[in-house]
Amino acid sequence: MGGRARFVLSFIVFPALLSFAWYSIFWFARHNGLRELVKALVKERSLPESSGILRTRYTGVQSIDRTLAVLTVFFWPTTDGSAPSLSLHTFVFAGAFGSAWALILLESWRQGNARTLPAIASIFGLVAQLFTFAISASLYCGLHLWFSPVSVQPKPERIVAPETVVRVLPFIFVVGYIIPCVGVILPTPGVISVDAKQVLIALWQPFPGYVSLLAFVAHLLLPHRYSSSISKRIALRIFYSASFWLAAITHAVGWGVALTSVLLPALFNEKIVHALHPREVFGVTWPSSDFRVTSLAEGVHVFLQWDFLIGCHAVLLWAAVQNALAQRRITGRVNWFGLATTVVGCETLFGPVAAAVHLMRLRDELLLQPVVRKEIRSRLNKRSSEVVARRR
């Protein structure tokens, strides 16, 4: 896969995904009535399916407070459990989004990406929160593929990241992402007040900044020591395992519940069994249709379905290309059949982002394998020399 292929992907394919994301998400939201509905709720200071009053003051800065109020209204139906199909879809989306962002944050710490655009992960994270995951992922993946030295010429030394950071990233995501996600779904008013929940939703928004800052602080404060390539590979395996299972488990649970509602509908309340049908949860409504929203939850669900579908597959395509580039670098050719089989099988069983994580893990293993083998041989030779010296 040479420069021409990277050019086509970076400047045609990913920009096309970005354009379609804008059309299917923002253009469609304006034409199906979602945008007007959100604006009306903000103007009335109302929360959907709630008697609470919308909070409109957080920082005292009007533009920021206005943005947070809009985001609070938008995300409210994803957190209150009033729409089962939206809640189940959000659960799957949350796992995939967290894993995808873990991959991007790791890329920002790669030695080969230092002082390049892919190193500024927090900026792309905030773009995802303000302008959707689909747009941010398409933008990041296209830029990474063209500007990142890791993509241009993948080498073992270029994919190395500080072992301390790699080891703490799973814990950072628990603190900076998973715990806040749990916080925003706490029920009101039984556990927290309506106002407190709005504050939690607002605080959750800049989570990419939280995890980036925590990673930087860990890099500064935690002790650094020389570590072998074997130790670094183990740290990467732990990171990839945590990221994989976050996406895979949420995917499996989401689809498991949806399919069970079809196969064993008697297990569910009659009022929600239809809402849990796979078509209702994961199906998409085409922007070219004359669809009009009848509730905020319905509009948000349609919005997030496209956001999820485009964003996740942008990351999967990027990971597949990274894997192919590494294969070309190490073996001189790309096993396209094996790559396609891995993508299809892994996505079907574990979801698109889990498949992307798996492909990136294979990429790293392939690039690090010669270095690790050399280190193992060096260790064995050293031990053999020590044994011979002792016998003498």
Whether 18 and 138 have beta carbons less than 8 Å apart is answered as: yes
What are the Cα distances from residue 38, in Å, to 69, 87, 117, 185, 281?
10, 19, 34, 20, 22
Q: Residue 247 and residue 234: Cα distance in Å, rounded?
A: 20
Taking the CA atoms of 126, 131, 137 and 141 in sequence, report the sign of the dihedral they define: negative
Tokens read off for 74: 């938008």
Q: Residue 234 and residue 223: Cα distance in Å, rounded?
A: 18
Whether 19 and 159 have beta carbons less than 8 Å apart is answered as: no
pLDDT at 284 over 80: yes
Phi, psi at 46, each rounded to 5°: -115, 150
Going by pLDDT thresholds of 50, 70 and 90, the confidence category of residue 255 is very high
pLDDT at 68 over 90: yes
Q: Residue 247 and residue 355: Cα distance in Å, rounded?
A: 9
pLDDT at 3 over 80: no
Residue range 37-63: mean pLDDT, rounded: 90
Q: Residue 52 and residue 46: Cα distance in Å, rounded?
A: 7
Residue range 254-262: mean pLDDT, rounded: 96
Q: Residue 389 and residue 360: Cα distance in Å, rounded?
A: 43
Burial letters 98-123, b for 16+ CB under 10 A, else e: bbbbbbbbbbbbbebbeebbbbebbb
Going by pLDDT thresholds of 50, 70 and 90, the confidence category of residue 271 is confident
Residue range 113-132: mean pLDDT, rounded: 90
pLDDT digits (tens, 9 = 90+) for 137-158: 999 999 999 999 999 889 988 9
Q: What does the mean pLDDT of the chain come to? A: 91
Place of tokens 């080891």: 167
pLDDT of residue 51: 75
pLDDT at 205 over 60: yes
What are the Cα distances from residue 134, in Å, to 88, 105, 228?
19, 17, 37
Nearest alpha-carbon partner for 107 in 117, 94, 93, 98: 117
pLDDT of residue 231: 81
pLDDT of residue 50: 78
Cβ burial, residue 143 (10 Å; 0-12/13-18/19+) = middle
What pTM was estimated for this model as a whole? 0.92
Whether 365 and 230 have beta carbons less than 8 Å apart is answered as: no
pLDDT of residue 378: 58
pLDDT of residue 83: 93
Nearest alpha-carbon partner for 102 in 365, 339, 354: 354
Residue range 317-339: mean pLDDT, rounded: 94
Other beta carbons within 10 Å of 26: 17
Residue range 224-231: mean pLDDT, rounded: 70
Going by pLDDT thresholds of 50, 70 and 90, the confidence category of residue 4 is confident
